Amino acid sequence: MGVLMIQIPQDMTEVKVKLAQLEELGHESTEAQVIFEAISDNAQAILDEKLEGHYYSCALDKDTLTVYDVIQKPIGKIKAQSHSFEEDFRQNAPQLLMYLDQQIQKIVNQR
């Protein structure tokens, strides 16, 4: 029975575990890359949950998350609470995820 692979890290502890798991599999990655993917994947998961399916997408930049509709038209932007989403995640990942949830809900409600 294998160890359960962390799919989408929800905090820094899970980021460190995921990094170790990736290393074990021979994938080279940095903590910053794992955090970036964790934020992107969490945001997309929240978006999919709100819309009950994968209809909209989002793209993460250093301090801005842009939400796109079905035809890839930008419909909303979410700014990091600090200088960057990475910093927000490192400081308090659960709070960041709640913030993303609230902001994504606002964007979805506008549609």
| Distance in angstroms (rounded) separating the CA atoms of residues 10 and 21 | 15
- What is the C-alpha end-to-end distance of the chain, expressed in Å? 45
Single-letter amino acid, residue 53: G
Q: Among all chains, which residue has been given the structure tokens 């929800």?
A: 10
Name beta bridge partners: 77.
66
Task: With respect to residue 69, please indicate whether it lies within any of the assigned structural domains.
Answer: yes
Counting the structural domains of the chain, the total is 1
Question: What's the confidence (pLDDT) of residue 5?
Answer: 74
Task: With respect to residue 48, please indicate whether it lies within any of the assigned structural domains.
Answer: yes
**86, two tokens:** 């990475």
Report the length, in residues, of the chain. Answer: 111
Task: With respect to residue 103, please indicate whether it lies within any of the assigned structural domains.
Answer: yes
Instruction: Give the predicted TM-score (pTM) of the model.
Output: 0.93
Q: Structural domain of residue 44, as residue ranges?
A: 12-110
Please write the tens of the pLDDT for every residue from 53-87: 999 999 999 899 999 999 999 999 999 999 999 99
